Structures are given as C-alpha cells and as structure tokens.
Structure 1
Amino acid sequence: MVATKTIVREHEADLVVRAADTVADGVLALTLADPSGQPLPPWTPGAHVDLILGDDLTRQYSLCSSPGQPGSWRVGVLRTPDSRGGSERVHTSLPAGATVRVRGPRNHFPLVASPRYLFIAGGIGITPMLPMIAEAEASGADWSLLYGGRERSSMAFLDELAGYGDKVTVAPQNETGMLDLAAVLGTPQPETLVYCCGPEGLLGAVEKLCEDWPPGALHLERFSAKPQEAAEGGESSFELVLERSGLTLEVPPEKSVLDVIRGAGVSVLASCLEGVCGTCETEVIDGDVDHRDSVLNEEERASNEFMMVCVSRCKSARLTLDL
C-alpha cells in the first residue's frame, strides 16, 4: 500500500514564556518564543503543540495566535478542577520568563477552503477557532461564530472577537441558556463547512444534528477521547509485523500496539495515549485496522493508510506497520 501523505518529524525546542496573561476566569494565555529570537516553524489554523511539562507529563494545546507572526506562538490553557496535573502545572509553574519544552506543531484539524463557514465553540474550544476565523475573514469567506460558555467572565478572548461585530454570537449559559444548535444546524446549508470544538456533550449534539448535512461538511476536534463501544466478544490477539525493524510480534488482548512496539525496543513518539493528539500516527502497510482514535475522519479511516497505535487495534490476524 502506498500512503498519500508522510509523517513529518516534529520540531522540538525549549521556548521562553514571553507573556502569561489571564484572559478569562481560569484561562491563561502563554506567548512562547525562541530565546534567541529565531522564527518558529510555520503552522496553519487548527494546529496544536505539545507542552512537555515533566518526564511523564505532556499536554496538547491549540495554537491561537496568528500563523503570520513567526516570532511567537500563543496557547490558551484552562485550569481544570479535575486536572491530571497538566493545566495546574502550566498555571503555577510557567510565569513570564520561564522556559518550557515544546514539540510540534501538528495539525489534524485543518481549515479546508470553503465559501462559507459555521464555527461553533464551547469554552476553551474557542482557541483553535481564532486563527481559523482570521483566515476565513482574510479570504473573504462568509462566516459566523456561535460561542458558548458558562458565563462571560469564563469565556476567553471576548475582546478580540468583539472586533468582528455581529458575525460573532456570544451565548453565556447563565444569560441565554443552552446553545440553540437546532436553529443553526437544523437545515443543511449549501457550500458550508461546520467547525466545532468544545466539550463532548457539545460535540455529540453537533454530530447528531449534522447527520443530514453533506458528507465532509462537519469537522470536529476533541480534547478528550470519544467514548468507544466495547468490542464484541472482548479483545483478541493478533500478529504485529514491524517491516523496517524485521520483527514479528504478538499483541495480546491486554496490551496496546504501542506497548508491544516499545517493549520490543522500537522508538515511537506518543503523548496523550488516548487517540486524541495524533503524535503516534503510524503508516500501515497491511492489515484491517480497528480504528479507535478521535483524530482521523471517516475517509481517512476507510483508506487504512495510517493508525494511532496508542488505542487502535487490528481486525485481521496480522498487522504490518512501517516501523
């Protein structure tokens, strides 16, 4: 099988925090730059980077600055009460002047060219939308944003969005109730792409309402793994062939493909271990992949060219990877 894309080895460097600004209740915006003033790698709207916060603590955050400003990157980080340590570390240990290891950028949520966009954001899901909106505006596309949150004080970047006027609808729950998604998604719109990012409840509702929209109209980004149905009859083992390493291994039911690869001493970058960030994307040479990630769209899954080895498995007896 010949893949239609390549996996690019990512930039990794220590960057300095030029600014750490509170942009809403519990939301910190970090501006990151190269200590020597060198330009950072180019990126496109929808990209995110890894902040490597410790030996076993890496978190992904969307870039929410402008791709046209190569001297710095900006990320917005929500301090979550049930934090596993990532957002807490950012808020308490990365003031202006601090240094942090950063890997990326990578983009599994690209903005596809279209004459019309409907952006829907919930809470911190506004971050990837900011550069998308700027690009849509610059291209002359017709667009609108529906932005929900608990209350205005918790909704980041409202000052920036105010400059777009009535193209932006701000809907705090304590003022307007739940987002009226049916009003904007109930009737499929021609030549319109829907981009949505936010909590799982919002994403699930948007997915349901977009079932009658044209294929490919909906684009989502998840911050946590999409709930998966349990495999019928439980997990099964399969043979794993690492083509370039010359290894044939067994993947038992209780281990992931990533676990087995690393156990054999083969290096694979991975971060979230939930099939969300795309770091462990690996080229598939042969095998019927059981895709369980929250990154690839239906077309990409059907092509069977790449998989996220941290969560996905194999339906066939053998899986061959380009490793």
Structure 2
Amino acid sequence: MNEPGADRSGADQSRTGPSGTDRNRTDPTGTNPSRNDPATHAFVAHRNLLFTVAYEMLGSAADAEDVLQETWLRWIEVDLEQVRDRRAYLVRITTRQALNRLRAASRRREAYVGQWLPEPLLTAPDVAEDVELAESVSMAMMLVLETLSPTERAVFVLREAFGVGYDEIAAAVDKTPAAVRQIAHRARRHVDARRPRRVVSPSEARTALEAFRRALEARDLQGLLDVLAPDVVLVSDGGGVKRAAVRPVVGAGKVARFYLGGSARAGFAVTCEPTSVNGDPALAVRLDGEFDGVMALRVEDGRITGLYYVRNPEKLTRVTAETPLTLR
C-alpha cells in the first residue's frame, strides 16, 4: 500500500496544532493527547520508536520532531481498516519524511562552518546498559552514518538497528527488495570498515570519565595524558558561533594541550558535571560557571579514544531533559 498523502497540498499542512478539529483528533506530538482515538493511540504507542528512527537518520532532534509532525499529518488521513501492521506503516511514513529532510540537510551541511556533530540527546543511564541501542545512537556511530548516502543510511538504520524486513524497507525507500538487499550489503560493508571497536563496561567508562574530569578541572597535563589513548580523536562543533577546532585533533598530546591551552589563555575556570549523552558517558562543561557545552566520550580498554564536544548553542536545547529512545 502506498503512503496516502505523499504529495499533499499546502492546505493539508495547516492542520498542525493540538486545538485542531480534524476528526476531533488532537496532535500527539504535543502535550496531553487524547488516546481514545485509534489513530492517536497507535501513534502515541510508537512515538519513541518513530523519533529514534528519524533521529538516527537525521542526527537532529529538532528535525526528528518535525518529521513526527509530518508523519502525524499523513497518519490521520489513513484508513486504518486497510492497514495490517500499524507499526510498520508508521515507520514507512516516518522514513519517507526523514529521507526528504536528509537530502536537503546533506546540501546544508556542505556549507556548515567547521566540524559537524549530531545534536546531543540527554539519555537515561540505563540506555548504556542496552548495548544495541547505545551503539546505534552513539556519537561515534552517528558520525559513521554521516558518510553514507541518504538512501544507504535509511536502509542501514532500518535493517541493522530496527530489524525491518527487506520488503518493508523497499516500500519505504521506493526501491525493489533486490535493490534494497544490495544497498544494505554495501552500507554494512562501509560501516563495518569504520565502525568503532567494542567499548568497555559502563563502570569502566565512568572510571575513565571521572579521571578525565579531575584532570581537566585541575589543568593536570599528565593526568590527561594518562587517561587519553595515544590515538585519541577530538571533534568539536561550534557551528561558527563558538570557538572550535576546524578539523579533528588527533593524538593525546595535541588533545590535552588543545583543552588546557584554550581555557588557560582565556582565563576560564573549568567545571564539569558527569552525565549521559546518546548512551555515552559525557560531561556538561561550564566555563566560569556558565554552561558551555556537552562532551561525549568514547572509552576503549579503559582509556578515552574519542571526544565529541558540542558547543553550538542551537544544538544544546535537548540537554535539559532526558529523551526516551527505543529500537522496538
């Protein structure tokens, strides 16, 4: 079944608010939804899943929320009696809308100032315990996904993270099942060549995080060198608004001096609060008491191999409350 309303007029897009009267349905992308209506109930039941699908495809929570809004507008036009699997149908709509945005975003990112990082999501500590979910939304994996084409990314995310069947993916991306199998194989080979190695346990990650925090706050060069892996990579995203490295910084010595030199020259007092971002151990960083950004860490063999520092203010709106994620 094709997705109803795939080529909708602008008039249809006007029904957006919780106060809308279309079939007396409220908008479950907002607050206090009415869950008695079957369409609303199905959407709310799968909302976290749909958000995760859109976020993994786009790397932007703001864009993912917009995709959910667009999905809802199309979903309320569907004759549910003709839908055999509501979850699959919702995922299909979400994928199509996310693909449209991803293609547009790919062009915008070519003009992005400096390094681009995904919009960080504050996640509950137990996300790290779900290895499959933590890996799929980690900063390191999201950066690998950025190297795929939009269609490859959609196919990989749906197949590898969510276990969607080839026939369903084919319907979502407008390809034949045979073509989807080829795309999935190509994308998997590409990702496997760049996939980060297996991380340590959450307790080991917290130990490395605490050692890094203490050394950073104390401006302890040797302490930083002790916890950073020799080939550690720092990626920082200021979006052209905040100071950040134009290119990745590689090597323990360079990374340590980048952090210590920058804060020392500016005369800032650095304080950090442990948190969890995208399932990774992370630090909320403050300079002279003012919130500056979030830094996600990748830990392997007890040492930090990756640092992902988001300073762009436009990407820090979702780090005040935990975002529920799911692969199911």
TM-score grouping bracket, smaller chain normalisation: under 0.3
TM-score w.r.t. structure 2 length? Answer: 0.25
The structure where strand makes up a greater share of residues is 1
TM-score w.r.t. structure 1 length? Answer: 0.26
The structure where helix makes up a greater share of residues is 2
